[in-house]
Structure 1
């Protein structure tokens, strides 16, 4: 029996639709949030904590991975805000249901000060101490090996680079990049980098790294006012492994920085 050509074409069309839908469903997206939280204190109301508001924002946005900067752990400063010493990442983990990790960059106020990660699910965490060729305040990067629902693994790092010396920022960018290259996994890194897009440190970031907030994305300050602030908070990704889906700077006033929300798709 000869099958009409119209039915053959319809069959091939439906197969094409099915394979396209499978390709779309099998591709994985990762939502990243980077936020300098000003040690969990409302910058406009000294002594007033805001971890519950930050946790509510995270619960609303549902990012897979969160990089936080200016994080206190068991400091007298946190006691002055919350009435007792607090591990901010542990508290945020309890409030959100995420897994939290604190990477201490330095001793501070009888406790620690550094970077934090929140992960939806579990991960393998590590702290990388960053170089200080120009001296100044110690800095660190918090790393996690994160397993996606498909079983594929990626690397994610959150950091806060030196605010004093360009020499340090350049060396710290290089250290993070070398660590990512050594790991040989698709990598994303984010944080308050204390550098502007026209700086030497920014231009030192080479290779396949892509700034999620670069052109043609409209310029959006991440620090200061929305009218004349600076863009110093970033999400960088390996453009050979990921595609940018969405980039947003959220006009949220829980800190002196704005949160940066990025959605990526694993190639």
Structure 2
């Protein structure tokens, strides 16, 4: 009886060792694959509707948890109040506080006694940040230019007006052309894949997400891009749209990109 129990214990130990070896092998292969492709980056874009859910509840933690579940390295966020009558707090600061990420706010307009605009959250602390004005007849828009050690991240929320969108593309191209590092862009572009705006953008930027995703009101208007005309290449790994229809009126999108080799 004792001999049989001892034999069973040995089998359990051997099985645990085999599982451990397999896990180590899988992790090693994953690290090798990432290294072979260059540096890796998980990018996310999310129009957070100022933290106001489709159930009418204001819940910044809910937005933060949607983001944290994706584990992004950098996130572009749109529709953020900063100390307004509608939201007497810095909404981006509230969300970042839950995620534990660094954050920068890009005010686009004065609104309700405070500011309204966009933001970027990141695991890595930015080296430099600039807020560049973009045209918008219905309201002024902005572009956040955020520099990190190995790449540049552009975050924006385009105007609803097609003419303003086209002018905004021209401003963005000047920014991208002036950079030596790989450039990525993300945001709510308020334009569908077949639009002239998107056709102009795609002359210079590769869409890293999927045009078939329905991100808001039955259309695809939220995107992540990689700038084509820089030294080095980038490849796309895993990508997805989070089908959360309660936390905001937009579904967030994300992509894993490998770059630098």
The answer as to whether partners of 1:131 and 1:175 remain within 8 angstroms in 2 is no
The answer as to whether partners of 1:31 and 1:65 remain within 8 angstroms in 2 is yes
Whether 2:255 is the aligned partner of 1:262: answer: yes
After superposition, residues 198-213 of structure 1 pair within 5 angstroms as 198-213=194-209
After superposition, residues 20-169 of structure 1 pair within 5 angstroms as 24-25=34-35, 27-45=38-56, 48-78=57-87, 85-123=88-126, 124-132=128-136, 135-147=137-149, 153-163=150-160, 165-169=161-165
The separation in 1 between residues aligned to 2:219 and 2:32, in whole angstroms, is 42
- Alignment deviations for residues 37-77 of structure 1 (CA, whole Å, 9 cap, x no partner): 001111332xx212101111222221000000001100111
Q: How many residues align?
A: 226
Indicate the residue corresponding to 1:5 in structure 2. none
The answer as to whether partners of 1:89 and 1:102 remain within 8 angstroms in 2 is yes
Indicate the residue corresponding to 1:15 in structure 2. none
The separation in 2 between residues aligned to 1:94 and 1:65, in whole angstroms, is 15
The separation in 2 between residues aligned to 1:21 and 1:257, in whole angstroms, is 33
- Alignment deviations for residues 69-97 of structure 1 (CA, whole Å, 9 cap, x no partner): 0011001111xxxxxx1101111221111
Q: Secondary structure at the match of 1:196?
A: coil
Go from structure 1 to structure 2 and tell me whether the alpha carbon gap of 1:222 and 1:23 turns closer, same or farther (over 3 Å shift). Answer: closer
Q: Which runs of 5+ in 1 are unaligned?
A: 1-17, 79-84, 148-152
Q: Secondary structure at the match of 1:204?
A: helix
The separation in 1 between residues aligned to 2:75 and 2:210, in whole angstroms, is 20
The separation in 2 between residues aligned to 1:191 and 1:258, in whole angstroms, is 12
The separation in 2 between residues aligned to 1:54 and 1:235, in whole angstroms, is 19
The separation in 2 between residues aligned to 1:105 and 1:21, in whole angstroms, is 40
- Alignment deviations for residues 115-153 of structure 1 (CA, whole Å, 9 cap, x no partner): 111010200222111134xx3310001121112xxxxx2
- Alignment deviations for residues 206-265 of structure 1 (CA, whole Å, 9 cap, x no partner): 4441011347xxx110002xxxx1000000112453211122111012111000011100
The separation in 2 between residues aligned to 1:199 and 1:175, in whole angstroms, is 18
Would you identify which runs of 4 or more consecutive aligned residues in structure 1 move more than 3 Å?
20-24
Indicate the residue corresponding to 1:177 in structure 2. 173
Displacement, 1:22? Answer: 5.4
Go from structure 1 to structure 2 and tell me whether the alpha carbon gap of 1:76 and 1:181 turns closer, same or farther (over 3 Å shift). Answer: same
Q: Which runs of 5+ in 2 are unaligned?
A: 1-27
Q: Secondary structure at the match of 1:66?
A: strand
TM-score by length of structure 2 reads: 0.81
Please, what is the CA RMSD of the aligned residues?
2.0
Q: Secondary structure at the match of 1:252?
A: coil
The separation in 2 between residues aligned to 1:22 and 1:69, in whole angstroms, is 35
